[in-house]
Amino acid sequence: MNTDRRRIAITAVLGIAVLAACALPSTAQDAKPEDEAKKEDKTKEGAKGAEKKPTYGLIFGTAYGPDDRPIYGVHVKIYRAGKSHPSWELYSDHRGEFAQRVPPGPADFVIRGDIVVAPMENGKPRMSKKKHLTGEAKVHLDNVELRDFGLHLNE
């Protein structure tokens, strides 16, 4: 007997929910013109925002080893010209690439990279034969722009 009452109650609640759901779209349709106007304003603002130029310069580089192949895990330090401490430090990714946003305006930057590499013999690194690879490059940015270059590392 309890099971029948539960089924009837659940069916009644579901029926009311369906009727309420059918009634809601009619009220939502009345509010659509305001919502559409707001969406149009946002899309216009978004389109204006897409036209804005970036407010930063971008230094993008690839670290290459002595064999001219990209190197993963190079410790890259970016200095402003004339400064002794790095302003930014980062590492190259699996493709040897790195990127850093910098403030806009004319500026010179010095990019230094270094890594310690141990050659593999029989699947094991030979730490006694490790090599320290370093490289340096100079980059000039005039204003808000992208500068792409290669950082070549040698012993």
Could you tell me the CATH number of the domain that includes residue 77? 2.60.40.1120
DSSP 1-21: -HHHHHHHHHHHHHHHHHHHH
- Structural domain span for residue 63: 57-152
φ/ψ of 74, rounded to 5, equals: -75, 130
Q: Which of 35, 52, 69 is the last residue of a domain?
A: 52
On whether the CB atoms of residues 153 and 66 are closer than 8 A, the answer is yes
**What pLDDT does 104 receive?**
87
Q: Which of 11-15, 49-53, 67-71 is modeled with the greatest confidence?
A: 67-71
Residues 80 and 107 in one domain: yes
Residues 65 and 7 in one domain: no
Other C-beta atoms lying within 10 Å of the C-beta of residue 86 = 15
* pLDDT of res. 5: 82
Residue 4 is predicted with a pLDDT of 81
Looking at the structure, tell me whether residues 70 and 37 fall in a common domain: no
Please indicate, yes or no, whether residues 71 and 47 belong to a single structural domain of this protein.
Answer: no
pLDDT tens-place string over residues 128-145: 999 999 999 999 998 878
Task: Quick: pLDDT tens for 77-93.
Answer: 999 998 989 999 999 99
pLDDT band per the 50, 70, 90 thresholds, residue 153: very high
- For the chain, the domain total comes to 2
Find all residues with CB under 8 Å of 77, minimum gap 6, and list them. Answer: 86, 88, 89, 111, 112, 113
Q: Please check whether residues 83 and 148 belong to one and the same domain.
A: yes
**Lowest-confidence range among 22-26, 70-74, 123-127?**
22-26
Dist CA 108 CA 137 (whole Å) = 11
Burial of 63 (0-12, 13-18, 19+ CB in 10 A): buried
Give the Cα separation of 1 and 88 in Å (integer).
Answer: 75
pLDDT at residue 149 greater than cutoff 70: yes
Encode pLDDT of 16-53 as tens digits: 887 777 776 655 455 455 666 566 655 555 555 556 77
Residue linked to tokens 């690194």: 125
Cα(62)–Cα(72) distance, integer angstroms: 10
Structure-block tokens of residue 29:
């349709």
One domain, residues 38 and 107: no
